[in-house]
Amino acid sequence: MINANATVLLEVRGLRATVAGVEILKGIDLTVRAGEAHAIMGPNGSGKSTFAKALAGHPAYEVTSGEVLLEGKDLFALSPEERARAGVFLGFQYPVEIPGVSNSGFLRLAYNTVQGARGRDELDPLEFDDFVREKMKLLDMDPGFLDRSVNDGFSGGEKKRNEILQMALLEPKLAILDETDSGLDIDALRVVANGVNRLLTPANAVVLVTHYQRLLNYIVPDYVHVMEGGRIIKTGGKELALELETRGYDWVLEEYKGKTGAEV
Partner 1 sequence: MSLTTTHPYIEALLKGSRDLPQSPAGWLDARRAQALERANALTVPTTRDEEWRFTDITPLTRIHFQPAQSVTRLALSDIGCFIVPEATVRLVFVDGIFVPELSAVPDSPAGVQVSTLAEAAEARSALLEKHLARHVAFENNLFAALNTSYLRDGALVTTGKNQACAAPVHLLFVATQKETAAYPRCLVIAEPGAECTVIEDFVSLEDGAYFNNAVTEMVVGAGARVRHVRLQRESLNAFHIAHCAVTLDKDASYLSNTVTLGARISRYDLNVAQNGEGAEMRIDGLALISGRQLADTHTLMAHARPNGRSVQVHKTIVDGAAHAVFNGKVFVHEGAQLTDSSQESRNLLLSGRAHIDTKPQLEIFADDVKCSHGATVGQLDAEQLFYLRSRGLSDASARNLLTYAFGAEIIDRIPVRSLLERLERTVLEQTQAAEPETRS
Which residues of the shown chain bind partner 1 in the complex (CB under 8 A)? Answer: 56-60, 79-81, 83-85, 89-90, 92, 95-96, 98-101, 106, 109-110, 113-114, 117, 149, 166, 170
Shortest Å, Cβ 94 to partner 1 = 9
Is there a contact between 90 and 167 (Cβ–Cβ < 8 Å)? no
Among 25, 82, 13, smallest CA distance to 50 is for 25
User: Does residue 261 come out as left (phi exceeding 0), alpha (psi in the -120 to 50 range) or beta?
Assistant: left
Rank residues 98 and 262 by Cβ distance to partner 1 and give the closer one. 98
Q: Rounded distance, CA 70 to CA 7, Å?
A: 11
Shortest Å, Cβ 254 to partner 1 = 37
Rank residues 165 and 226 by Cβ distance to partner 1 and give the closer one. 165
Shortest Å, Cβ 75 to partner 1 = 13
Shortest Å, Cβ 105 to partner 1 = 8
Shortest Å, Cβ 96 to partner 1 = 4
Rank residues 177 and 232 by Cβ distance to partner 1 and give the closer one. 177
Shortest Å, Cβ 263 to partner 1 = 34
Rank residues 78 and 242 by Cβ distance to partner 1 and give the closer one. 78
Question: What is the arrangement of strands in the sheet containing 205-209, beginning at the earlier edge strand?
Answer: 88-91, 174-178, 205-209, 37-41, 223-228, 231-236
Rank residues 167 and 226 by Cβ distance to partner 1 and give the closer one. 167
Q: Rounded distance, CA 88 to CA 80, Å?
A: 9
Rank residues 148 and 214 by Cβ distance to partner 1 and give the closer one. 148
Residue 247 CB neighbour total at 10 angstroms = 10
Q: Rounded distance, CA 143 to CA 138, Å?
A: 12
Burial string for 6-44 (b: 16+ CB within 10 Å, else e) reads beebbbbeebbbbbeeeebbbebebebbbbbbbbbbbee
